[in-house]
């Protein structure tokens, strides 16, 4: 219930700074996208916005950053999946890249 698969187009990847195999890789599979950036994209691109299928969940999302995870093998059916709850973000984030998080906390 915390995660939703989502296709992010090449143009969307540039907007959200999650270009596949450049800014996100199998070794570094996630980005934290500012909710404000997504809300601005809703305003500018409306239904064309990659997050449009999750507009209700993103609009109601209480956090400031949305966890977006690269899924290069399409395990969940799309090229990314998105954490749509803060509880889920806190639960999944440490498992994604523990060494990176340890460096971040120092």
The Cα–Cα gap between 71 and 50 comes to 16
Task: Indicate the pLDDT class of residue 98, thresholds 50, 70 and 90.
Answer: low
* Tokens at 28, concatenated: 């570094």
Over range 60-79, report the average pLDDT.
Answer: 95
Could you list the beta-strand ranges (E) of 15-55.
30-34
Please give the pLDDT value at position 103: 39
Please give the pLDDT value at position 65: 96
Model confidence pLDDT, tens digit, residues 18-59: 999 999 999 999 999 999 999 999 999 999 999 999 999 999
The Cα–Cα gap between 90 and 106 comes to 18
Alpha helices (H) along the chain: 10-16, 35-45, 55-60, 86-96, 98-105
Phi and psi (nearest 5°) for 61?
A: -65, 125
Q: Residue for token digits 């209700």?
A: 56
């Amino acid at each position: 219930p915390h995660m939703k698969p989502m296709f992010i187009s090449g143009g969307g990847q540039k907007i959200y700074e999650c270009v596949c195999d450049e800014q996100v890789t199998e070794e570094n599979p996630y980005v934290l996208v500012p909710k404000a950036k997504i809300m601005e994209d809703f305003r500018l691109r409306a239904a064309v916005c990659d997050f449009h299928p999750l507009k209700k969940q993103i609009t109601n999302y209480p956090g400031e950053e949305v966890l977006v995870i690269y899924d290069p093998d399409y395990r969940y059916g799309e090229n990314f999946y998105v954490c749509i709850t803060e509880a889920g973000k806190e639960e999944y984030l440490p498992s994604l890249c523990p060494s990176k998080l340890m460096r971040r906390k120092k």
